[in-house]
Structure 1
Amino acid sequence: MKPRKVPAAATAVLMLALAATACGSGGGSDDGKKVTVGIKFDQPGVGLKTPDGDYEGFDVDVARYVAGQLGYAPSDIVFKEAKSADRETLLQRGDVDFIVASYSINDERRTKVDFAGPYFLAHQDVLVRAGDDSITSPADLNGRKLCSVTGSTSAQNVKNELAPRAQLQEYGGYSECLTGLENGTIDAVTTDDAILAGYAAQDHFKGKFRLGGFELSDELYGIGVKKGDTELRSDIDTALRKMVLDSAWQRAVEANFGPAGYRSEPPPGIGAPAAETPAG
């Protein structure tokens, strides 16, 4: 069957209608495409979905900057929750285009996904109750209930290397760990210091917890992309370098971590192998 020809007048009307639709699209990209970004929804200061449906945190600021450099307007960005245990699956299935979710780069994860960056250097630490002076070193975690989230490597690192008799408790989110720490069913929460500082700075937690200051490991955050997508990874690296050079990176650090008194490390070498990035 031959394609039906459309009269010139009808074509003109159709083009005008499409142009009008584009002008009223709210400032999105010219082709109307969206970008779906995985972030954490429950990490204050890092990635948080607020009660009014907005998103805030350092990773959110990074995601918005990168998306902008890739050609997407703010209205083109769709944020999707990326829990620690789901991140590789989200990328492999194509449910997200990239993930900015306190995603530490390690060799095991590199077998499943690729990473742009790193764009942030954190240190694993523990959060304990402010009045608990019995935990002053990693060895003091032996026999204690140590909480982290399912899919995170933090608690297992402590048990394997520093406190083999720690009692691991894995929950679905850090908010549950903090609730347990507050009511005494958990003795310590472990993850990256930036994440812990964000929680401790919340109004309803102020003065209740303290960071151990142990610096148990170096955690280099990368932006996860689908395995083999070298073009996107390279484009994101370029965007991250620009974010550092124009001081947007430093402004995001100060805006999200400054209120908690947390002092971040300088930006790591973006695009360099992990072994070449500066340690803390």
Structure 2
Amino acid sequence: MRVRRFGAVIGAATALAMGLTACGSDSEKTEAKTVVQKAKDDKKLVIGIKYDQPALGLKKPDGGFEGFDVDVAKYVAKELGVPENGIEFKEARSENRESFLGGGQVDLIFATYSITDARKQQVTFGGPYVVAHQDTMVRADDNKIAKAKDLEGKRLCKAAGSNSYRRVTEGPPDGQLNIPAKTVDASSYSECVAKLKAGALDAVTTDDLILAGFASQQKGSFKVINDPFTDEKYGIGIKKGDTETCEAVNKAVTKMYQDGTAKTLMEKHFSGTGLKIEATTAPTFEPCA
């Protein structure tokens, strides 16, 4: 009897271990699923966007979202098999984009996410889906800053998580202009704009699409000086190593340009801002890695 009882215990323990192993395997399979596979199987995606950038990614008072990035995200998601009602938008600020992708809080990010060599160490980028150019915005009545070089000694906004200010204040390889401006900290570009309007700083420098959106939102308050000095490739943020999804979103972006949707969306969000809209051919994509 004792032998049989001991054997039964061993059998139960073995079965339990096998069950746990099986559960672990299922978990590993779920974790290994690419975003494009998730889109196909679940018809749902969590997409990171900005909540505070007019004409790009903006949360409306009614809880909805609007902007160029939002519309591009919807288009790409649809091409991956996810309807608009299957998208959950989540705020992705400049300082948490990498951690959100790495930690699985979001599946994709469309959030004025410039592709840089440093970021490519942590993120796989689809696209770019558009190329912006860094410029500078000042108050409408300020005639002292007409060119980027005029930023010397001026108070320049330093938005958390963004590298834009460094391209003014530092030289290569990380910067560009090496102009000794005085930086003023802000949590976001919306705070930068509020501080600019209040006179707490002299200029905001970042991508022209972002600046045009803010200038359009508060007409007559600001002006973009139209002295661009970089190319900013807006990429689609994907968890590092998910090349299958990268290739799929690139295919979607290519189609978006071929069928005229890209130009339609650019005109929808930026016409009347002074930006030159040339959205007939998809930008050259970064290698999926």
2:114 corresponds to: 104
2:29 corresponds to: none
Deviations, residues 39-63 of structure 1 (Å, cap 9, x unaligned): 0000000111111111110000100
Q: Write the distance in 2 (CA, Å) between the matches of 1:243 and 1:105.
A: 20
1:189 matches 2:207 = no
Q: Write the distance in 2 (CA, Å) between the matches of 1:138 and 1:264.
A: 23
Q: Write the distance in 1 (CA, Å) between the matches of 2:255 and 2:87.
A: 20
Deviations, residues 211-239 of structure 1 (Å, cap 9, x unaligned): 01111211011101000000000110011
1:223 corresponds to: 236
Q: Write the distance in 2 (CA, Å) between the matches of 1:214 and 1:268.
A: 24
State the Cα RMSD in Å.
1.9
Shift of 1:164: 3.2
In structure 1, which of residues 252, 256, 271 is the aligned counterpart of residue 285 of structure 2? 271
Q: SS at the partner of 1:201?
A: helix
Instruction: Flag the 1:271–1:138 CA change in 2: closer, same or farther, 3 A.
Output: closer
CA contact (8 A) 2:130 2:283 kept: no
Shift of 1:170: 2.6
1:176 corresponds to: 191
Q: Write the distance in 2 (CA, Å) between the matches of 1:219 and 1:31.
A: 34
1:255 corresponds to: 268
Q: SS at the partner of 1:118?
A: strand
Shift of 1:34: 1.8
1:87 corresponds to: 97
Q: Write the distance in 1 (CA, Å) between the matches of 2:76 and 2:180.
A: 42
1:157 corresponds to: 167
Q: Write the distance in 2 (CA, Å) between the matches of 1:137 and 1:259.
A: 22
Q: Write the distance in 2 (CA, Å) between the matches of 1:224 and 1:47.
A: 15
1:48 corresponds to: 58
Amino acid at match of 1:114: T
- Map 1:17-32 onto structure 2 (within 5 A): 32=42
Q: SS at the partner of 2:142?
A: coil
Q: Write the distance in 1 (CA, Å) between the matches of 2:76 and 2:95.
A: 24
CA contact (8 A) 2:157 2:185 kept: yes
Structure whose alpha-carbon radius of gyration is higher: 2
Amino acid at match of 1:263: K
TM-score by length of 1: 0.83
1:24 corresponds to: none
Amino acid at match of 1:183: A
CA contact (8 A) 2:254 2:282 kept: no
1:9 corresponds to: none
Instruction: Flag the 1:95–1:30 CA change in 2: closer, same or farther, 3 A.
Output: closer
User: Which shifted more, 251-260 or 159-168?
Assistant: 159-168
Shift of 1:171: 1.1
Shift of 1:142: 1.1
1:38 corresponds to: 48
CA contact (8 A) 1:142 1:163 kept: no
CA contact (8 A) 1:237 1:270 kept: no
2:86 corresponds to: 76
Deviations, residues 174-218 of structure 1 (Å, cap 9, x unaligned): 11111111111110001100100000001xx21111101111211
CA contact (8 A) 1:154 1:191 kept: yes
1:210 corresponds to: 223
TM-score by length of 2: 0.81
1:136 matches 2:136 = no
Q: Write the distance in 2 (CA, Å) between the matches of 1:37 and 1:48.
A: 14
Q: Write the distance in 1 (CA, Å) between the matches of 2:146 and 2:228.
A: 13
Amino acid at match of 1:128: V
Amino acid at match of 2:202: D
> How many percent of aligned residue pairs carry the same amino acid?
47
* Unaligned stretches of 5+ residues in structure 2: 1-11, 13-38, 171-175
Shift of 1:30: 9.0
Q: Write the distance in 2 (CA, Å) between the matches of 1:86 and 1:32.
A: 25
Deviations, residues 107-145 of structure 1 (Å, cap 9, x unaligned): 000000010011101100010011111111222111111
2:30 corresponds to: none
